[in-house]
Structure 1
Amino acid sequence: MSIQSDIEAAVGSLSPSLRRIAETIRERPTIVLDSTISDLAAECGTSVASVVRFCQAIGMAGYAQLRVALATELGKESAQFGMPAAYGADVSPGDTLQEIARKIASLELMAIDETIGSLDFDVLERVVGRFENASRILLYGVGASQFVAEDLQHKLFRIGRDAFVLSDPHEAWAAAALPVSGVVAMGISHLGETKDTLEFLRIAAENGAFTVALTGVPGSAIANAADEVLYTRARETTFRAGAMVSRIAQLALVDCLFAGIAQRRYHYTVEALRRTREVTRGARGV
């Protein structure tokens, strides 16, 4: 488990004073190694007591444990990715393109590693089973999460599964309102608070669908609304509005979901992929 990912996941649920601490550490993780608790409190415009409460909010006993955890984590990342100890820092105005590329690549690699490393495989197994036996699969996400839904729908469609991405919220809610037996509805949202996605899951559940949430935040609204939850772990960059790192973690997780579904009908899947590849080859001019 990653303390930096824990901080990323906790930001949205913290009070304003604790959020300032989280955002400072998220952007400059090495500040904890270089600062006393009083220095960090002053840097964040808050109190020593607030720093202690922040540590406890992310599962640390206190500031000393946070320093040790971050030092250990940053050291491992430095060794693994060949970056200096400041690796964990966000993209900064002074970075070269090479440094930016290495930081983004490293963050994305770690997002995949941490997502799979923390994955509850019992939950994944149950979700795979539900998808395998579903009469209809409804997928919904907003913004970058919609692209992830479309990626999963494309893969499922290629192996003969009735999967639908619903890009318009009214269409999504209407589809979710139909009481069809065997429906699985998946809502995708990194922070887990997108209102349209939450409403989609709520309506689907009310009409008998089995609901799945894909999110990066435990205890988020869509996590609480779903029958099963698949969690990602990702540290976003300053440019998090583009959902770069979290999107990669989501794609990795839906790839695992798809592979699990496909494996259960292995020979059928191989033949289905061969057939769909053959009929589209001519359109590619190959």
Structure 2
Amino acid sequence: MTGTGPEEAVAEAFEEQRGRLVAVAYRMLGSRADAEDAVQEAWLRLARQDPAAIDNLAGWLTTVVGRVCIDVLRSRKAKPEASYDDRLPELVVTEEADGAPEDDALLAESVGLALLVVLDTLGPSERLAFVLHDMFAVPFEEIGQIIGRSPDASKMLASRARRKVQGTHRSTDEPQQQRAVVDAFLAAARSGDFEGLLRVLDPDVTWRTHTARGVVVRLGATEVAAKARRGVHTKLTGRNVLVNGEPGILVSDANGKPRIVMACTVVDGRIVEILSVTDPERLASVDLPERPV
């Protein structure tokens, strides 16, 4: 029986880090494909290195992925940007109760759509400092080396980013509690129960819908409840899914064609934010789970 060679050992060590690196890159870039490309670039650079010269492989890989992400973000900044309301992060739609692939679970964990939208408004260095420090506990000394700033400057960047995301809704409810609230919302909508809708909606709820003609925003429980009730007679069927880790629903027509993807953010037992996509072009770009046979 032969021992593991140096190349195999490096490949094995890299695979142990892959899930974390993809999670870092996804939070930085908001795109699973771009995140996987960034991690693949890190692997290519690692393959050209002498493993013996790397003291801390995890730190080295984080630095490389961080620098790749910074370059991608800076190149995006050079292009015209969509308005804040029109921003739509890449949707990660997975089955709710199945054994989802490990990388999907990592991507979805704690990355609500509202947070991704706000992260997309940050400057590249701000975003990296916040993501690495606040989400992955990377020391400011290491962050400073990645972005070419001092530890104190990196700390200031993270602090500035933190202030910008403070208003983002992040649920502390258990997943089962979140799903129960969303199920109650859908049941009330189907039955036209206006009072039932108001019970599960936060008074300041926001419903943002990405349509083929642009973004439609509805504000307040009364307006959202009135809109939800209008779908009571539609011949559409929905099933529970997770959308970026949040309870959602995938709505299809009688032929099984997806028509709507909806995600709900639940805080303290009430829905505070709804994001739905009805734009056929956007829906076609989403990797949707197949309907069970």
TM-score by length of 2: 0.24
Per residue, is there more strand in 1 or in 2?
A: 2
Structure with the higher fraction of residues in helix conformation: 1
User: Under a length normalisation based on structure 1, what TM-score does the superposition of the two structures give?
Assistant: 0.25
